[in-house]
Amino acid sequence: MAVVGRAASRSAANGPASLQDMRRQNLAVVLAAVAAHSPLSRADVSGRVGLTRAAVSSLVDELIGRGAVTEAAATASGRVGRPGRALTVSGEGPAGLGLEIGVGHLGACVADLRGEPRLWRRVERANAGRPPGTVLAELAALAAEAEAEAAALGLRVEGRVLAVPGVVPNEPRGLVERAPNLGWHTVGIADHWPEPETAPEPENEANLGALAEYWNAGTPVETFVHVSAGAGIGAALVIDGRLFRGARGFAGELGHVPVHPEGPECACGARGCLEQYAGEAAVLREAGLAQDGPGDPVALLAERAANGHAPTLAALDRAGRALGLALTSAVDLIDPDGLVLGGAYAELADWLLPSVCAELAARVTVRPWAAEALRPSALGRRGPLLGAALTTIRRIMADPTLLPAG
């Protein structure tokens, strides 16, 4: 019962609309209203979304039948009239499983329909260079454990999404085209999964981090660029609240934007790419640190910066200016409402933000540009895993008929 829903019918030219489509959308509308303002009575929902109480009643009945909504006990409202029955998004039943493969760990997370992460699992593993089959077998075991534990909490996993530090093309789905830090090339996830029918759908970790940031924000910005540094530098573009993957799925390759055209040669063959200034390896080198030293290099950088270590501060300043330069291009092209620094950048934001901000302020002059638009990620490195778990949740919210009828 993979919740692999197609994208919601976007354009009018796609195909004819049916009564079922109408019903589907209205179920989603009601569910969204309950999610946004619960607890809500049927009458409240009716007044809020514009459907009649009769229609809302029918829709709510179906949502309850599918396990998406639960009816709480009657509340003493204190107001005149018959009290409404409080509706909430169900905290049991349907759930989403997020999985993650990092260079140094495997992770799992289960989120309920309310969007709350209900359990986290993480095991340290040096995955770089290991065969995909081995890694995925271990991950499948971790996933099975997580699903079992979730079942004990009354949660039933309806969909599985896997965050990978690599490129996931639009077509064909289910493929990791390359993940340099893992040493993967053209790995079909389902091909290595013990039970192919429960194989997770891979997605780039930076993209999932950006979506998590969006879904998790109190007052979400609809159009923003989410920059996240791991070994490479990736940008995820969220446009009008939806992830933009580009024509082939390669959008957001910020790491190889040219910032100094005549600069040092990059592994990609070009010169002066952003990665040569703001990539992890470049910053470590510039800061005089060994690249493959023990421990978490990002934490080490943060520690040295906090201690006022001059080479580290200089390296971060240099990185920030280069990043600001690359983001100037992004702002000029995309006109986003926000810029979010995620991944490792979030932990280094204190030392990066000033120079990024200064560069942007100096170069983005032909349009209104607010420094507040630039901020570090609130989720940091947990973002991708949470985003993976929430992907299934948001799909169900957008189309509750993906859930089996009661």
Partner DNA sequence: GGGTGTTTGTCAGGACTCTCAACAAATTAG
Partner DNA sequence: CTAATTTGTTGAGAGTCCTGACAAACACCC
Within 56-95, which residues bind DNA (CB under 7 A)?
57-61, 74, 76, 78-85
CA distances from 283 to 44, 231, 299, 314 (A): 54, 11, 13, 9
Instruction: Note whether 352 and 316 are within 8 A (CB).
Output: yes
- Provide the token pair at 253: 């390759």
Q: Which of 74, 332, 350, 371 binds a second copy (CB under 8 A)?
A: 332
Q: Which stretch binds DNA (CB under 7 A): 1-9, 49-57, 110-118, 296-304?
A: 49-57
- Of 50 and 131, nearer to a second copy (C-beta) is 50
- Of 157 and 302, nearer to a second copy (C-beta) is 157
The distance of closest approach from Cβ of residue 302 to a second copy in the complex, given in angstroms and rounded to an integer, is: 25
By CB under 8 A, what part of segment 166-205 binds a second copy? Answer: none
Whole-angstrom Cα distance, residue 316 to residue 344?
12
User: Per rule CB under 8 A, is residue 223 in the interface with a second copy?
Assistant: yes
Using CB distances below 5 to 8 A depending on partner kind, what does residue 73 bind out of DNA, a second copy, none?
none
Whole-angstrom Cα distance, residue 166 to residue 191?
17
Phi, psi of 225 (to 5 degrees): -110, 130
Using CB distances below 5 to 8 A depending on partner kind, what does residue 2 bind out of DNA, a second copy, none?
a second copy
Q: Is the dihedral of CA 380, 193, 203, 67 positive or negative?
A: negative
Using CB distances below 5 to 8 A depending on partner kind, what does residue 235 bind out of DNA, a second copy, none?
a second copy
Q: Where are the alpha helices (DSSP H) in 41-155?
A: 42-49, 53-65, 132-152
Over the window 355 to 394, marking each residue x when it contacts a second copy by CB under 8 A and - when it does not, the resulting string is -------xxxxxxx---------------------x--xx
Residues 6+ apart with CB under 8 A from 221: 214, 336, 337, 338
Using CB distances below 5 to 8 A depending on partner kind, what does residue 329 bind out of a second copy, DNA, none?
a second copy
Whole-angstrom Cα distance, residue 180 to residue 183?
5
Ordered strands of the 338-343 beta sheet: 242-244, 233-239, 224-229, 338-343, 374-376
Q: How many residues bind a second copy (CB under 8 A)?
A: 95
Over the window 235 to 264, marking each residue x when it contacts a second copy by CB under 8 A and - when it does not, the resulting string is x-x-xxxx-xxxxxxxxxxx-xxxxxx---
- Of 305 and 320, nearer to a second copy (C-beta) is 320
Residues counted in the chain: 406
Q: Which 3 state secondary structure label does DSSP give 289?
A: coil
Q: Which stretch binds a second copy (CB under 8 A): 136-144, 189-197, 200-208, 232-240?
A: 232-240
Residue with tokens 């919740």: 3
Residues 6+ apart with CB under 8 A from 321: 277, 355, 356, 358, 359
- Of 9 and 77, nearer to a second copy (C-beta) is 9
Q: Which 3 state secondary structure label does DSSP give 106?
A: strand
Q: Which stretch binds DNA (CB under 7 A): 39-47, 91-99, 133-141, 328-336?
A: 39-47
Phi, psi of 146 (to 5 degrees): -65, -40
The distance of closest approach from Cβ of residue 320 to a second copy in the complex, given in angstroms and rounded to an integer, is: 14
By CB under 7 A, what part of segment 195-234 binds DNA? Answer: none
User: Per rule CB under 8 A, is residue 95 in the interface with a second copy?
Assistant: no
User: Per rule CB under 7 A, is residue 15 in the interface with DNA?
Assistant: no
Using CB distances below 5 to 8 A depending on partner kind, what does residue 81 bind out of a second copy, DNA, none?
DNA
Using CB distances below 5 to 8 A depending on partner kind, what does residue 31 bind out of DNA, a second copy, none?
a second copy
The distance of closest approach from Cβ of residue 35 to DNA in the complex, given in angstroms and rounded to an integer, is: 17
Residue type, 127: N
Torsion over CA of 389, 204, 301 and 294, rounded to 10 degrees?
90
Q: Which stretch binds a second copy (CB under 8 A): 7-15, 69-77, 185-193, 304-312?
A: 7-15
Residues binding DNA (CB under 7 A): 16-20, 22-23, 26, 41-44, 50-55, 57-61, 74, 76, 78-85
